[in-house]
Structure 1
Amino acid sequence: MSIEQILGRVMRLFGRRAVNLGINKGIEVAARRGRPEAEMTPEDQAQARAARQTAKRARQAVRLARRLGK
């Protein structure tokens, strides 16, 4: 295995992690509607919690669909 292949694999690994981190942070901000947790009312916090759970279920469904597609 050449050094280019090794570097390519390592770069893909870090790139994938960075993209996933960015997506997760974006979902979190969207769930909070851009407001800090301290400024949210209990109803807003419950809605944000529900949005996070929905996003988690969506990610699980995508993972399952990807697995079934193989």
Structure 2
Amino acid sequence: MNFNQIINMITRMVMRRVINKGVNAGIDKAMGAGKANQDLSPEERAQNRAARKQARQMKQSAKMARRMSRF
């Protein structure tokens, strides 16, 4: 391995981490802060739970897509 390959490898590694954090932050920002749990009705709590589950699935999907795009 020469010096340029090592620099490129390190740059790709750093950029991948930055992009991953950006995607996760964007998903979190889109979900919004919301209200405290005790201020919500049972229906709203169920909706909150479903939204958090969906956000978690979106993050996993984005992670898988990034993993597949490497090949």
What TM-score do the two structures reach when normalised by structure 1? Answer: 0.62
Report how many aligned residue pairs link the two structures: 60
Measured against aligned partners, the alpha-carbon deviations of 1:9-49 in whole angstroms (never above 9, x if no partner) come to: 100001000001011011001101xx4x5xx24347762x5
- Which residue of 2 is the match for residue 26 of structure 1? 26
- Which residue of 1 is the match for residue 60 of structure 2? 60
In structure 1, stretches of 5+ residues that fail to align are none
Aligned-residue identity in percent: 30
- For CA contacts below 8 A with separation 6 or more, give which structure has more relative contact order: 2
In structure 2, stretches of 5+ residues that fail to align are none
Give the number of the structure whose alpha-carbon radius of gyration is greater.
Answer: 2
- Which residue of 2 is the match for residue 2 of structure 1? 2
Distance between the aligned counterparts of 1:27 and 1:59, measured in 2?
7
